[in-house]
Structure 1
């Protein structure tokens, strides 16, 4: 059984750890509120923009109207994994790494280019033999639409110029504090989803000025940039939710461990007292026997 000093030191250490995890949980909760507000405010705009784009492009059979919809033989793939800058957020970052490996395996034979966003993604990409684009990994240090737009434009220009034949986003979609959903979305070339198909057949009539093709050409780049920014905001909110959950569980576990250690401390102390009493009684009986 451990002595009293060792148990007391462990209790002090666990108590200090519990204070840290409780503080980190509170900080994550405060940051989560702001990040959650941002993504909730952006989603209606992003969904409406996608719906309008799907509607105005419906019935247009000219696939050459935009270079962003052109299908090519996939020889070069740009993957954009979005992680956090820091750890202590459960499986948040490791899940992105697993999803990245799945996407890489699905494009076996193609040249893989990785544009990491977040320090953890940057560290993971350095360990792999990929062609890395490292200009935007610290985006979360100055997160804004402008920084996300620059990264999106880099990917879009690379696709338009033929340097990349496919662009894939990997990120955590924010559902709630305890739930984050891993998404692997094809940003380029543009693919029409079931939701877009439903929007395109909604029957809404639009008056186009100056022309339908001009509006679509203007909406597509804007929609892609908003989609990219939405993935960044989703990941940011998911990170704080994951860290809040992880630190909450760590705080609870520390509390359970403290209960066990205090019980051990009391038992050890009681055993030491009992031992001292037995020694005193034994000594007294020995003295009495000598007389």
Structure 2
């Protein structure tokens, strides 16, 4: 009977876990719908704005070139690692941590590499072994363009002041609910379009005011939009990853519960059979 009691306890525990994971799946699905619409709506605008700025930057030379496009020897690197404040999202956070450490250990080995973390999970791990100059977990409390723009301005200041020679962003790009791609994207300096791509997009524009003024006004906005897009991509990816993880957890809990119920029924049947055999055996002993 002790075995039956243990099985009943496990069935109750697994059923409770299944209800929790199922509820979390539905919550993430609702949040994913809103986050997906947001990133889908802004991605074409952000990509076109970045392309336009790259074209204009490529056409500027000498003293006219923007300070944000200045190419330097890459001695001091700043990595912006974007993850989430919460777990239970499969490999979502661990993939960003792995990619960030890969940059430190292999891509920029022997150079000064510091981090700006966005997300509690990545900050908790990276800060133990690497230099974190700033932590921006609070941006998820109110994910607006204005709040992200403040972070982008801080990054731009790091670059223009010479504190860092290169700034890269690591984040999960949203593809669909089940697929997220880890992206390492150069934030600063701006990478101008070159070669055949520049030739194909070099159209004859009339600029008013001057090309230089347009570039200087649009570059900060473009960089803010680029960072906002990356965080929005990561935000949608987080909910997609969590929904998928909770869906799998619910399926696994359902399978385990069914297996435990089967074991419980078999054990109960065996117990009843033993009781019947004992009763029959006792009756036969009395008759003899």
Say whether the 8 Å CA contact 1:51–1:199 is kept in structure 2: no
Q: 1:70 to 1:64 in 2, by over 3 A?
A: farther
Structure 1, unmatched stretches of 5+, are none
The offset of 1:205, in angstroms, is 3.2
- Partner residue, 1:113: 114
Say whether the 8 Å CA contact 1:64–1:70 is kept in structure 2: no
Partner secondary structure for residue 206 of structure 1: coil
Say whether the 8 Å CA contact 1:113–1:133 is kept in structure 2: no
Partner secondary structure for residue 115 of structure 1: strand
- Partner residue, 2:143: 143
Partner secondary structure for residue 60 of structure 2: coil
- Partner residue, 1:87: 87
TM-score (norm. length: structure 2):
0.94
Question: RMSD value over aligned CA atoms?
Answer: 1.9
Q: Per-residue CA shift, 1:64-92, capped at 9, x if unaligned?
A: 61111112122221111111110000000
- Partner residue, 1:123: 124
- Partner residue, 1:40: 40
Q: 1:86 to 1:211 in 2, by over 3 A?
A: same
Looking at structure 2, the residues matched to 203 and 173 of structure 1 have their Cα atoms a distance apart, in angstroms, of 29
Moved more, 49-58 or 275-284: 49-58
- Partner residue, 1:12: 12
Q: 1:200 to 1:150 in 2, by over 3 A?
A: farther
Looking at structure 2, the residues matched to 9 and 71 of structure 1 have their Cα atoms a distance apart, in angstroms, of 64
Say whether the 8 Å CA contact 1:63–1:69 is kept in structure 2: no
Looking at structure 2, the residues matched to 131 and 87 of structure 1 have their Cα atoms a distance apart, in angstroms, of 20
Say whether the 8 Å CA contact 1:115–1:137 is kept in structure 2: no
The offset of 1:2, in angstroms, is 6.8
Q: Per-residue CA shift, 1:201-224, capped at 9, x if unaligned?
A: 235332211101111122222111
Looking at structure 2, the residues matched to 210 and 176 of structure 1 have their Cα atoms a distance apart, in angstroms, of 41
Say whether the 8 Å CA contact 1:96–1:171 is kept in structure 2: yes
Say whether the 8 Å CA contact 1:58–1:200 is kept in structure 2: no
Say whether the 8 Å CA contact 2:114–2:130 is kept in structure 1: no
Partner secondary structure for residue 85 of structure 1: coil
Say whether the 8 Å CA contact 1:81–1:100 is kept in structure 2: yes
Moved more, 11-20 or 198-207: 198-207
Looking at structure 2, the residues matched to 131 and 27 of structure 1 have their Cα atoms a distance apart, in angstroms, of 32
Partner secondary structure for residue 133 of structure 1: strand
Looking at structure 1, the residues matched to 175 and 196 of structure 2 have their Cα atoms a distance apart, in angstroms, of 24
Q: 1:113 to 1:256 in 2, by over 3 A?
A: same
Q: Per-residue CA shift, 1:182-233, capped at 9, x if unaligned?
A: 0011111122368x96366235332211101111122222111111110000
How many residues matched?
287
Superposition map of 1:43-192 within 5 A = 43-62=43-62, 65-105=65-105, 106-134=107-135, 136-192=136-192
Q: 1:214 to 1:22 in 2, by over 3 A?
A: same
- Partner residue, 1:256: 255
Q: 1:2 to 1:109 in 2, by over 3 A?
A: farther
Superposition map of 1:265-276 within 5 A = 265-276=264-275
- Partner residue, 1:21: 21
Structure 2, unmatched stretches of 5+, are none
